[in-house]
Amino acid sequence: MSSTDSRSIRTKFIAVADSLAGLHDESMGDEREALVITKAYTFALVLGTAALMVCGAVFALFGYWGFALGAVLFGGLQSYLAVAYASAHGVSLFELTERTSPARKRKTAIVFGVVACVMFGARIFQMLSGSPVFGDYGSTEPASDALSESIGLVVGAVCGVVAVLVFGVIQKKRRQARDLQDDE
């Protein structure tokens, strides 16, 4: 794909996104009001994403895995769209995220870590006991190989976390190398 095609796609994506969001609508008010509205929706998005994650964990505890997965995927979709929109404007949210203050990083890690642990624990509990932590939705007899499946799940999760960490380090080193090249 040529750079002109790529720019054209980005421009169209931004135009569609702005139109869907109503950014150029009269209801956005003047520039100060537009800024406040944008901040308000950012705040709502952050809280909404956290709420979706918590809902996902609660659904998992009650054995509603379809809803749990839906909540987590929808939260992820919101973040993905934000990254795509910023990227179309030439802003890398991934690079900016690295500058997040340590306190904010800690809070985010706690929320997502607790949610992930709850969901993961609920899954293993249901695999071993055959019923969810609360209620009896989707209860079955535990499978004969539930223990080995649970161990497999734990190993898979650990491998996933390690892969994400390694990928992050590789990306960071690539960016540092690119920055050095830019300086030269």
Please report how close the Cβ of residue 35 comes to other proteins at its closest, in angstroms: 8
Q: Does 26 bind other proteins (CB under 8 A)?
A: no
Give the nearest distance from C-beta 34 to other proteins in angstroms: 10
Could you tell me which stretch among 23-31, 54-62, 94-102, 166-174 binds other proteins (CB under 8 A)? 23-31
Instruction: Write the CA distances from 7 to 20, 29, 78, 158, integer angstroms.
Output: 20, 29, 23, 39
Q: Which is nearer to other proteins, 33 or 95 (CB)?
A: 33
CB of 96 to other proteins, least distance (A): 18
Residue 29 binds other proteins (CB under 8 A): yes
168 binds other proteins (CB under 8 A): no
Q: How far is CA 83 from CA 87, 146, 160, in A?
A: 6, 38, 22
Paired tokens of 3: 């750079």
Residue 106 tokens read as: 């800690």
Question: Contact region for other proteins (CB under 8 A) — 28-36, 58-66, 119-127, 157-165?
Answer: 28-36
Instruction: Mention every residue, 6+ apart, whose C-beta is less than 8 A from residue 143.
Output: 127, 130, 149
Q: Which is nearer to other proteins, 36 or 47 (CB)?
A: 36
30 sits near other proteins (criterion: CB under 8 A): yes
Residue 54 CB, nearest approach to other proteins (Å): 34
Binding footprint of other proteins, residue count (CB under 8 A): 5
What tokens does 44 get? Answer: 């709502």
Tell me which residues in 31-60 interact with other proteins (CB under 8 A): 31-33
CA-closest candidate to residue 85, choices 165, 170, 10, 168: 10
Cβ-in-10-Å burial (0-12, 13-18, 19+) of 59 comes to buried
Q: Which of 35, 48, 38 is nearest to 79 (CA)?
A: 48
Return residues touching other proteins (CB under 8 A). 29-33
